[in-house]
Amino acid sequence: IYSKNAKIYIGRKSFSGPNLTIISGDHPYLPGMYMRDMRKNLLPNAKDFDSDIVIEQDVWIGANVTILKGVKIGRGAVIAAGSVVVRDIPPYAIGVGVPAKVLKFKWGPDDILTHESYLFENENGNERMNKEQISQMINYFKRELDRIH
């Protein structure tokens, strides 16, 4: 885990395979300066190069995964081994590849609702997703997948 000016949040009951890499920052680059000579901490906008990372609860991250700055991985998601996560992965989605993209969802809306009813019974302010939210999320990503393929 590499983080200097950002926070990394890892939710309860999330786990990973070996060799997980989490990097919350970037290298600055400016015209007229060698990148190797830059010292991020001397730049007035140093924090602009780092962003928080959020891994919600019940996330399964496979072996040799890299997660980069500014990413949120939703609860119940699965990240396939060897993936590089550079953008958000929604709850209960299966993210695969370099860069990681939503391949499909673990379950349909009814199974997600059942799962949520067991795990998120108004506990610690966690809000359960309702069927409409789940269906909208799944349909949005299915349309995106259809558009790409």
Residues with a known catalytic role: 27
Q: Decide if 72 contacts 88 (C-beta within 8 A).
A: yes
Neighbours of 59 (CB within 10 A): 24
Label residue 20 exposed, middle or buried (CB < 10 Å: 0-12, 13-18, 19+). middle
H/E stretch holding 94 reads: strand 93-96
Helices (H), the chain: 109-119, 131-148
Rg (CA), the chain: 18
